[in-house]
Amino acid sequence: MILDTSFLIDFLEGLPEAITKMQEMQNNPETIFISAPTIFELWTRVSQSNQPDKEKEKVKKIIDSQHILELTKSCAEEAGLINGTLWNIMMKRY
């Protein structure tokens, strides 16, 4: 299972649904991962927070408790191509 940024933000903000889902996942034997780009986005959130020290501790706690998926060169290339293709499809609709 790979946790995405939106879910983690909901969890960090204390949304009951996200908290319940996180508890369910932690009780499941499946390994939970956070990707390197999600870590980037969470740290961006820390710097934008009105309470950066408090937010920093919450982010560190969640990151340190999960396995990290590194962003390799080949993964970044593939993700960029997929993202560009999806963007082109979206732009054709408007």
- Domain 2-93: give its CATH superfamily: 5'-nuclease (3.40.50.1010)
pLDDT tens-digit series, residues 29-72: 889 999 999 999 999 999 999 999 999 999 999 999 899 999 89
Domain boundaries, the chain: 2-93
Report d(CA 35, CA 76) in Å as an integer: 12
Predicted local distance difference test score (pLDDT) of residue 37: 92
Residue 94 confidence (pLDDT): 76
Grade residue 79 by pLDDT with cuts at 50, 70 and 90: confident
| Mean of the per-residue pLDDT values of the chain | 93
pLDDT at 90 over 80: yes
Q: At what angle do helices 5-12 and 36-48 cross, to 10 degrees?
A: 40
